[in-house]
Amino acid sequence: MEILATHIGAIPMIDEGTFPLTIRFDGASVDEFIAWYQSNTDWLDNNLLKSGAILVQGVDIDSVDKFEHITGSLGSKFRDYLDGSYPRRNLKGHVYISTEYDASYNITMHNELSYSAKWPSRLIFGCVIPPGTGGETPLVDSRSIIDVMPPEILEEFERKQLRYVRNLHSGQGMGPSWKDTFGTDEKEVVEQHCRSIDIEYEWKEDGGLRLINRRPATRIHPVTGEKVWFNQADQYHPTHFPEEVYETLMLIADGVEEDLPLFVSFGDGSKIPESTIHEIIRVIDTVTVVRPWLKGDFVIVENMLVAHGRKAYTGDRQIVVSMVE
């Protein structure tokens, strides 16, 4: 435990021995937190690179407005959720509801937009309304995943890389439409966006759009030089769906896996065995940390260093997110 000298009225307890590193205030206002942050920005930035994620507790955040105010002080440039693969609704300014994906299913661990050529540097998740049960945002250090991944899986993934496929409908169907995904109904705008971030695209006869991203399975962090597991193979692979969902999806896709809303193969087009995906999920789970949300908690995640997921939940839940460019 350590106490950092800071602004009067807002002296947090800091626990560096935990993951995520935890900064705990004894009831600070939003402005008190911002004053503390402004005196400790370098310290926080350095520790974010070490820990990968920092949890802040005890700040009076009970509304989207306050979350927007506090995150506005933490990141100067925010990005929107264009090109995202899950439903996510904009609430206000740079604040989004974290996901509206069916509450009864878990979302597997992933680094945001790792299938894309451009991803956010940081995510800030905040708890405005805690879930009734479950609904945690598990975190895992992507450097530790490299340490625990079986060497033969790591080697094959790095050598073959990944080919992510998304099939977006034109208005009705499973998952998001291409108009929602790109925030436009003009095909030329979508095409230009795809070209600018190296996505192959193909318009389909039914008005839908197929997108293909070929990406590496690991990356080197540009500042720390560390290797991170940085892919969404398990999230894109149909094996992660509960069986009844998989069967329904396969009916809609006429039995062709490549026509599912999300699909992934190795970069050369060869199949990733189901057993490999199960092993990846199992191994990642051994180093994942799950903690319950408390009202007002927020967590700053270095998106290349730490992956996140979502546990199934019941009750109301308002976990909001902002993404820093």
> What is the contact surface with Fe ion in residues (CB under 5 A)?
112
Shortest Cβ distance from residue 322 to Fe ion (Å)? 12
In the complex, least distance from residue 311 CB atom to Fe ion, rounded to whole angstroms: 13
Residue 201 token pair: 């695209």
In three-state form (DSSP H/G/I as H, E/B as E, the rest C), the secondary structure along the chain is CEECCCCCCCCCEEECCCCCEEEEEEEECHHHHHHHHHHCHHHHHHHHHHHCEEEEEEECCCCHHHHHHHHHHHCCCEECCCCCCCCCCEEECCEEECCCCCCCCCEEEECCCCCCCCCCCEEEEEEEECCCEECCCCEEEHHHHHHHCCHHHHHHHHHHCEEEEEEEECCCCCCCEHHHHHCCCCHHHHHHHHHHCCCEEEECCCCCEEEEEEECCEEECCCCCCEEECCCHHHHCHHHCCHHHHHHHHHHCCCCHHHCCEEEEECCCCCCCHHHHHHHHHHHHCCEECCCCCCCCEEEEECCCEEEEECCEECCCEEEEEEEC
CB of 317 to Fe ion, least distance (A): 15
Nearer to Fe ion, 83 or 112 (CB): 112
When CB distances to Fe ion are compared, the closest residue is 112
Please state the closest distance from residue 53 (CB atom) to Fe ion, in A: 13
Residue (14 or 211) nearer to Fe ion, CB: 211
User: Residue 110 or residue 163: which is nearer to Fe ion going by CB?
Assistant: 110
CB of residue 197 vs Fe ion: minimum separation in angstroms? Answer: 18
Of the pair 22, 99, the CB lying nearest Fe ion is at 99
Q: Write down the least CB distance from residue 109 to Fe ion, Å.
A: 9
Query: Which residue, 112 or 302, is less far from Fe ion as judged by CB?
Result: 112
What is the Cα–Cα distance from 86 to 265, expressed in whole angstroms? Answer: 19
Q: Which is nearer to Fe ion, 96 or 157 (CB)?
A: 96
Q: How far apart are CB 279 and Fe ion at their closest, in Å?
A: 22
Q: Which is nearer to Fe ion, 23 or 109 (CB)?
A: 109
